[in-house]
Amino acid sequence: MKIEGLVEQFLGERISPQILSTPLPDDIAAVVVERLKQEADRYWYIDYHRSLELANRIVTIGERRQDAGQTALGLMARGDALKLLGDAEAAWVTLDEAGKLFQTIGDEVGWARTRIGRVYLSTTLNYVPEALADARLARTIFTDHREHERLLRLDLNTALVHSLLGDQFQALRLYHSALAIAETLGETGEQYLGPLHIDIGLAHESLGDFSQALTYYERARAIHIGRNETLNIAVSELNIAYIAQARGHYRRALRLLYGMLERGIEEFPVEYLAVKRDMIECFLHLNRYADARELARQIIGDYRKLGATHDTARNLLHLATAEAELNNFEAARAALEEAEPIFTSLGAATWMATTQLRRGRIALKQGDSRAAYEFARAAADCFERNGQQISYATAILLQGQAQFALGDARKASQAAAGALQIAQRFNVPALRYATHLLLGQVSNSQYKKLHAARHYQAAIATLERVQRGLTITLRPGFLEDKGEASRNLIALHLERGQAERAFDALERAKSQVLLSYLANREQFRWAQSGNSRTQGMIEELNKLRAEHQWFYRLAHEPHRNTERPNTVQPEQALREVAVRERRMRSITEQLYLHSGDDYQANQIAATSLKDIQHTLSEGTVLIEFYDDDSGLWVFILDGHTIHVQRLPATTAMLNQLLAQLRGNIAAALKVDSQSAAARNLSQLARRILKRLHSLLIEPLMLHRYNPKKLTIVPYGALHYLPFHILYDGSEHLIQKHEVVVWPAAGLATQPALKRDPGALILANSWEGRLPHVFAEAQMVQRLFGGTLCSGEAANRAALQTPPTQILHIATHGEHRLDQPDLSYLQLAEGQLYADDMLQQDMSYELVTLSACETGRANVAAGDELIGLGRGFLYAGAGALLVSLWQVADTSTLYFMERMYKALRSGTSKAAAMREAQQFMLVEEPWHHPAFWGAFQLIGNDRPLSSSSERI
């Protein structure tokens, strides 16, 4: 057989055992082994398992021929493959075995070659001193023998060790030495250019120079794309994602990271775990501490199995951060205590300092400011010595925070100013926000109010730039701990009696997100056309939703279907529900990450007090509440004036009254509305409502304005209060005024919608449990015309038609307190979630959700509401009519008919709702508010547009 044919057999996917076990002649063996080694090395960047298989063939050839040199070469190739597969201990032993074989035949270059891989493994296995000593000897051997390529590889791996230990300057010297060699090797050196650019980028990243790091990462990515190296493209993108995360571009970072996981890089365990590690860091920045903790625990276990001590320790730091933020301080300390000796044994000084910094943060959270300062000072000294500027700035910021807590405002200001300079130079938003916040607090304590206001405004502006790039799923969590600058600025203005500035600051915090959503609704749309990745995720999501609904029913209605007994018990069904909900959230998050990739968001100017006052008609008063955590404030506006005052209610008092009201309404709904129990509950409700009225409305002295309409903007827990049923001792608020609620006053600046006449009506009786919904739907169609979709026709597809004046949905709904984003309306083919609404154009003039609990929501950071109503508002609805609690469909029919008749006659939406609720009160004045007050109007309350307005 010709030698070329034999070589091809040895390189093939399969090889006959007979051929493999037959000793080869010297000349043929030399050619075959050389080609096998070349291919084994080439597969480092393609398929680690294939590289191992080819290495094993070299070992077999050498052993059959009793050739120690070829056997050693095969063992070295095997060790390199095992290293890439994550089996560090086996790789270390195998490479040592290869080195000893080379020494038996006097091949010092061969021995030196085995040290290249062992240097790479040394930090994983905690054998750094031995590996670096061998590397120095190997470097001399390669230099003496003019083995330039191997010297390059040794320098590359030695630099990596120094980088991991925190000595970035030594690492950069070695990387640039290796790069210079690579550039002299011509075509041979090209394979090293990409990895070297990545490694140089990593060193600059560790030094805080993100611009330089990104430049090298992008060069590396271009090189790898040109060479079609799939794995290295992923590695480049992993590092680009890290820079995006460090600069506050969390959406881009997560999109890149999820994209790498979707490519199936599980076959490359080291890179796969690195992606998960960077996802943990993103989760920590986004305040998703439970997710970060779960993922950290998972990959720490994976790294332990691989024997990767350095990576285990790094992720123990992430675990400690997550535990500390969840107030599990003992668990956080345990993680740090496990990580610290690993870094100490490796001599990783900067990682030891990072551990100290974590201890300092925990101490500050627990009120031990002195210990926090000492930990931060020690860490800062180490970071400064090693040139790690971002870490240094983070440490001196913690020093400043501790000094401020200890009462040393001057030193706190100096520390914060130093940290701010670095944060601005390297554009690190999280650090900029925190330093401006501290400088504002220090200035305020020194009575430098203007300086304080400027720093708070700078912190808020930094925050706005970051959150502008987040998706609807990421934003609420990110803002959770970012409200302090805004609260401090509002407090500063209130303290100085600056009502207009305080109002503008409050509305900037509340309106910016809402108005940005409304102006950029395209960002919510999940791209489907021509996007196979997105389409596949949507198909999986729909399958999961169907399974989720089935298990949810088994868990909550186990005896509903008596014809076919279920083998799944409710407890098991609940577990299945939880599994699917986690995956559903993961998919929807990825869909939003990919939505609007090419969409340029419209910038939204902040709405001012004057902008809002210009929208207030004669006889309208706007009442906006604000809770500063100690008590309530209220702003009262008409078209020309603004007044602000503190209310005589504490937050605790308000929460207690709201809890009493919720309990009272829940009890009333369980008894006959005509019963004595209902009347007793009604009397108790009026006492609670009168108390709330005396705290929230009576101090406003509304008689000074003689308002016809009240526009109420709640805050925090007040979003849960049905203001229209408040009671002054003789009348409910709705009997004296029209009442409309806005989530933020800036919503007033949105132009009124003008749509073609008619209604789209969806009616679903929920398997016969809501028999009156069809009569209700027919009533709406009779009054307004349009399309009625009932039974099986009441599905998602019906919502894809162009909007008209009214969308009326009569069905069952549920607000999920535990998972508000999974609140739903029950349509014929399944549950309709807020995410589904965001995929449609919901810009009807009025959306009526005649279903239970559709007006309930959870209040997130920034006073953002999460629930069904949010979905319709963000999808463009001009106004919403929603229910705040479960209500009988007979009462709903009665209310809807009166309201719609009034609306059809040309009255405003607020007036129509008032007329309907007043009529129910007149008919049965003893009725508990639970039976007539469930519905609330949110948004634009103008009458439906007339034909002349639409022309």
Q: Which residues of 688-709 are buried (b: 16+ CB within 10 A; e: fewer)?
A: bbbbbbbbbbbebebeebebeb
pLDDT score recorded for residue 855? 56
107, burial (CB in 10 Å: exposed 0-12, middle 13-18, buried 19+): middle
How large is the angle between the packed helices 26-42 and 68-84, nearest 10 degrees? Answer: 10
CB burial readout 160-196, b (16+ within 10 A) else e = bbbbbbbbbebbbebbebbbebbeeeeeebebbbbbb
Please give the backbone phi and psi of residue 70, each rounded to the nearest 5 degrees, phi first.
Answer: -70, -35
Q: What DSSP state is assigned to residue 24?
A: P
What integer pLDDT is reported at residue 357 of this predicted model?
A: 98
How far CA 24 is from CA of 13, 170, 485, in Å, comes to 20, 46, 76
Q: Is the Cα torsion angle 145, 149, 155, 161 positive or negative in sign? A: negative
What per-residue confidence (pLDDT) applies to 947? Answer: 46
Helix, coil or strand: residue 465: helix
Per-residue confidence (pLDDT) for residue 529, from 0 to 100: 52
Which parts of 165-288 fold into alpha helices (H)? 168-184, 187-206, 210-227, 230-246, 250-262, 269-285
- pLDDT given at position 858: 60
- State pLDDT tens for residues 405-445: 999 999 999 999 999 999 999 999 999 999 999 999 999 99
Three-class SS state of 814: strand
How many helices (H) and strands (E) would you count in the chain? 40, 16
Confidence (pLDDT) at 862: 58
- Short-list 817, 609, 862, 872, CA closest to 716: 862
- Of the candidates 415, 411, 412, 435, the residue with the CA atom closest to the CA atom of residue 423: 435
Quick one: pLDDT at residue 52? 92
Q: What DSSP assignment string belongs to 745-808? A: GGGGGSPPP---S-EEEEE--TTTT-TTHHHHHHHHHHHH-EEEEEGGG-SGGGGGSPP-SEEE
Q: Say if CB 642 and CB 609 are below 8 A apart.
A: yes
Say how far apart CA 491 and CA 628 lie, in whole Å.
8
Q: Is the pTM of the predicted complex or chain greater than 0.95?
A: no
Which regions in the chain score pLDDT beneath 50?
562-563, 598-599, 947-948, 950-951
| Number of other CB atoms surrounding residue 267 within 10 Å | 12
What's the one-letter identity of residue 180?
Answer: A
Question: Which strand (E) or helix (H) includes residue 553?
Answer: helix 532-556
- Count CB atoms within 10 A of the CB of residue 648: 13
Alpha carbon distance 552, 563 (integer Å) = 18
**CA-wise closest residue to 599 among 536, 549, 697, 525:** 525
Spatial CA neighbour of 847 closest among 759, 778, 757: 759
Q: What is the pLDDT of residue 675?
A: 86
Asked if residues 256 and 237 have their Cβ atoms less than 8 Å apart, the reply is yes
Question: What pLDDT, on the 0 to 100 scale, is given for residue 703?
Answer: 93
Give the Cα separation of 214 and 223 in Å (integer).
Answer: 14
